[in-house]
């Protein structure tokens, strides 16, 4: 890591006690809870949410934290206490929101594959809105609502066909993507939805992609949505809310990520004086720079072409580098007076794609701790048990306090639902 690098995480600082998050020494967390361990900062989570609230000011709006980015109950409970809404994509995420103290009537439910059981669960909980993504989903939802004797609040997720200019795996608003209903079909589908007796049409939704560093594509999508909203109003169908999805990017390395205020300003200008409530579904910009992954160096292994720092975290803990070429800063917890070496930081998994960082200059020895920064979004929530590795513990720091918000998994729990063939079977 070169000297000029400044931490993208706002509550991280160097001190004589080594790297601190808020007032807690990360080395103490690593010693106490073991590694790998995810560490989140309550102050950073709160500040990120407050940045949205400040930018939205007195505007009627709902900030729905996207649960897929970080679904830990401790983290969700921080947002629930701040009065946030939640964006979910499964019945599992709804259960988590409720277990964390979130309000069902602040929940929006997105996703192309909602099952009947999930629809039932969400209707019974009384969520705020279903973001419907296809014609057949509309019909299914109407049928389920009739069965449970409820009216389902719906928005159509329209696909505005704008290019968010981000990684192809995380761009979602193009015609070629599976998400949303085609822009050209939206009017007819709204008419159909309005005619279905167990649906109440209340909004419109879109989400064009993730890690966006410029608001222009979002504003373009918003213009297209506004055009639809006004045409629907002309037909007597007045929408109550407009949902812009998530997408605002963060700084991992040297990206010029806009502030929430700067990102939202052109959008708010476009909607000035309009009556609709505005919804947002931020994920990464709420949790990404509020969390990091701590790991310990097991071995320093010189190679013929490359040197490796083999650590106890792996692609099963943090998949972004392997899957998207995601770049996370790697920082030594203690500053050591040893020569720097250039290493690939890799895990113990049996895949060449198991790397967390490549070509980093680190002043380290075996046994030292490293922090992988900006890992609070799509880190733990995308982890797996590949290679029968128990998932990491998770810790939430609040000032000087440290809360274990997820215990490290045990090996036994990994196969608790499995069994060998019965012994009668030869």
Q: Which residues are known to be catalytic?
A: 350
Q: Which stretch binds ligand LLP (CB under 6 A): 227-235, 245-253, 347-355, 357-365?
A: 245-253
- What is the nearest approach in angstroms of ligand LLP to the Cβ of residue 417? 26
Mask of contacts with ligand LLP, 202-221, x by CB under 6 A?
Answer: -----x--xx----------
Residues numbered 326 to 385 that lie near ligand LLP (CB under 6 A) are: 377-378
**Phi, psi torsion values for 239, nearest 5 degrees:** -85, 145
Q: Considering the rule CB under 6 A, would residue 127 count as an interface residue with ligand LLP?
A: no
- What is the nearest approach in angstroms of ligand LLP to the Cβ of residue 419? 33
Q: Considering the rule CB under 6 A, would residue 112 count as an interface residue with ligand LLP?
A: no
Q: Considering the rule CB under 6 A, would residue 317 count as an interface residue with ligand LLP?
A: no
Q: Considering the rule CB under 6 A, would residue 291 count as an interface residue with ligand LLP?
A: no
Q: Which of 142, 115, 141, 124 shows the shortest CA–CA distance to 197?
A: 142
The token pair that represents 52 in the structure block:
């949205």
Sole binder of ligand LLP in the list 93, 281, 368, 394 (CB under 6 A): 281
Sole binder of ligand LLP in the list 91, 153, 180, 282 (CB under 6 A): 282
In this complex, which beta carbon is closest to ligand LLP, that of residue 29 or of residue 204? 204
Question: Count residues contacting ligand LLP (CB under 6 A)?
Answer: 23
Q: Which stretch binds ligand LLP (CB under 6 A): 45-53, 276-284, 299-307, 328-336?
A: 276-284
Q: Considering the rule CB under 6 A, would residue 171 count as an interface residue with ligand LLP?
A: no
Q: Considering the rule CB under 6 A, would residue 245 count as an interface residue with ligand LLP?
A: yes
Using a 10 angstrom Cβ sphere, with 0-12 exposed, 13-18 middle and 19 or more buried, the burial of residue 155 is buried
Residues numbered 80 to 99 that lie near ligand LLP (CB under 6 A) are: 87
Sole binder of ligand LLP in the list 1, 25, 104, 170 (CB under 6 A): 170
Sole binder of ligand LLP in the list 35, 110, 121, 383 (CB under 6 A): 110
Q: Which residues bind ligand LLP (CB under 6 A)?
A: 66, 68-69, 87, 110, 170, 172, 207, 210-211, 245-248, 281-285, 320, 324, 377-378
């Amino acid at each position: 890591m070169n000297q000029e690098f400044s931490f993208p995480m706002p509550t991280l600082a160097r001190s004589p006690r080594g790297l601190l998050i808020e007032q807690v020494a990360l080395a103490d967390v690593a010693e106490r809870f073991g590694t790998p361990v995810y560490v989140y900062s309550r102050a950073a989570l709160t500040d990120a949410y407050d940045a949205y609230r400040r930018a939205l000011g007195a505007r009627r709006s709902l900030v729905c934290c996207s649960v897929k980015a970080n679904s830990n109950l401790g983290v969700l409970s921080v947002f629930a206490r701040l009065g946030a809404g939640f964006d979910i994509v499964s019945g599992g995420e709804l259960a988590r929101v409720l277990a964390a103290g979130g309000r069902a009537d602040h929940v929006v439910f997105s996703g192309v594959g909602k099952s009947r059981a999930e629809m039932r669960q969400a209707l019974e909980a009384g969520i705020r809105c279903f973001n419907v993504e296809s014609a057949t989903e509309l019909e299914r939802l109407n049928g389920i609502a009739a069965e449970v004797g409820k009216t389902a609040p719906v928005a159509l997720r329209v696909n505005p066909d704008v290019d968010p200019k981000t990684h192809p795996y995380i761009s979602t608003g193009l015609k070629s993507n599976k998400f949303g209903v085609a822009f050209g079909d939206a009017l007819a589908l709204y008419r159909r939805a309005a005619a279905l007796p167990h649906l109440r049409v209340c909004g419109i939704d879109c989400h064009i992609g993730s890690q966006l560093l410029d608001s222009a594509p979002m504003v373009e999508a918003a213009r297209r949505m506004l055009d639809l909203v006004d045409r629907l109003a002309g037909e007597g169908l007045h929408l109550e809310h407009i949902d812009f999805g998530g997408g605002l990017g963060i700084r991992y390395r040297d990206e010029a990520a806009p502030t929430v205020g700067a990102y939202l300003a052109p959008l708010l200008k476009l909607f000035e004086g309009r009556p609709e409530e505005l919804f947002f579904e931020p994920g990464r910009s709420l949790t990404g720079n509020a969390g990091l992954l701590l790991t310990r160096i097991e071995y320093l292994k010189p190679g013929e072409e490359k040197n490796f720092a083999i650590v106890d975290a792996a692609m099963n803990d943090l998949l972004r580098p392997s899957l998207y070429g995601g770049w996370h800063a790697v920082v030594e917890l203690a500053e050591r007076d040893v020569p720097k070496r250039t290493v690939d930081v890799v895990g113990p998994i049996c895949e060449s794609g198991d790397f967390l960082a490549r070509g980093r200059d680190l002043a380290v020895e075996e046994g030292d701790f490293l922090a992988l920064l900006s890992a609070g979004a799509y880190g733990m929530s995308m982890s797996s048990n590949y290679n029968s590795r128990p998932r990491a513990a998770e810790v939430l720091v609040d000032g000087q306090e440290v809360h274990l918000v997820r215990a490290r998994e045990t090996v036994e729990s990994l196969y608790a639902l499995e069994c060998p063939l019965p012994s009668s079977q030869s």
